[in-house]
Structure 1
Amino acid sequence: MAALPDGPARDALRQRVVRAWMPMAERLALQFRNRGETVEDLRQVAMLGLVKAVHRYDPGRGTAFESFAVPTVVGEIKRHFRDHMWDVHVPRRVQELRNRVRAAHQELTRTADGRGPGVEELAAHTGMSEDEVRAGLEALGSFSTLSLDSALPGADDGYALGDTLGAAEPGFQLVVDRESLKPELRALPPREREILYLRFFCDMTQSRIAERLGISQMHVSRLISRTCDRLYERVMGRVA
């Protein structure tokens, strides 16, 4: 195939080679089943790796096609898991740390009567630093995430993960608003400050305020509206 020029004959031969090696690619794909990806998708990724291997193979290097194709197909499958199967985006370096920590954890657990190894043991076994081991351990939970509706371990009353999430406290913003207004309220003329106090703190109607101050209700309404607009502009201007 390498001796043929580009054209229909070379394309037809390339397709024959791909079809001939498809069983090999399928066997490699099945080695990665039960890891969260469907078998059909694994087959498709493996076939893509096979096509790449056929395109890139150079017999002039003296390497048998199988020796070149197997790592190419396996690499394509692993790349698929790395790029498409993580629920949380994790840098490639951390993904590799996770794989090393995971393999070491399994090995040490088998030889320690089921006891989970600690960070120091994992670091000594892998030759990694303790910080790298911790990063790999944190990444272990990033491959697949839990639903917020998932029940917490030991919770018999349906208490779910989402029930543990906090919410914004509305009272905090009220405190911020009041503290922002205090200096502006102190700077108001006495009559406007008294009108706001009677309306918003004593809950008096505009008509009762008008009677108390000896002015019209319309005048009270205009003063409240104008004063509130001025306070808003001053506070927001200071924040900006």
Structure 2
Amino acid sequence: MPATRTNLDRTPEAAQPSLPLVEDAQRVAPHDARRLSKLFFERLSVLEEGTAEYQYARNTLIEMNLSLVRYVARRFRSRGQEMEDVVQVGTIGLIKAIDRFDVWMENEFTTFSIPYITGEIKRFFRDTTWSVHVPRRLQELRADLARAREELEGRGIAEPSVADLASHLELREDEVIEGLVACNGYDADSLDRPIEAGGGKRQAGLVADLIGNEDPALALAEDLQALKPHLAQLDERERTLIQLRFGAEMTQSEIGVELGMSQMHVSRLLSRAYATLREALLAEA
């Protein structure tokens, strides 16, 4: 059976001088994918973003490592979602891992990427299963309450009371009540439901009309405010690199020319600065 190309934008002709041509990256065996991924990551770290060879290297890395996404997605088969949707969501995590992986840190990409893929899939289930965000403790309590209700009904208690549930789960009644209230966040009413006025005689609009729009600049302002004290902890060279990369929107190659460094050295310094900022932000979460 002849190898077939995928629909990702590759332009391998431009990449052939320095990278091997992978005709069908999704069919590469896992052990070959690990070996080739290291080669492609090393080349990707020195390529100019936006070039044909950069796109070829990045897209090939995505396709060669889709088996990791399928491996993680299989863990969620019992969740009731279409596996194709779960794989698509996991692929977002894979892409994030590829964009953030530093081959010079000597980490295995498999070890590095699986938490990103798993996290993206878990976030998908969290955001699509619950209508509103509730603490994980209450999400778990909801499952415990559902099981307790089934067990009590199996014992002949048709409508278990709060006291029955509390006794069965060895919880306080106020904890059970809190869990029952949290269950209301599992399902949502339609935003297109009409609002009735005048005793139900006429329609006064839709529920969606009552919801304001979120200003996207607000989240950006919050992120910048959160980063500000941590940026101050970086050394002067790291702050300069961050300012040139995101303030002046210069490429790594342009920064290298500006500061008299190789693009590879710029990439390493930026990766180290990103890791420092990420760790500082996660420590606050």
TM-score bucket (shorter structure): 0.3 to 0.5
Q: TM-score, structure 2 length as denominator?
A: 0.38
Structure of larger gyration radius? 1
Higher relative contact order (CA 8 A, sep 6+): 2
Q: TM-score, structure 1 length as denominator?
A: 0.44
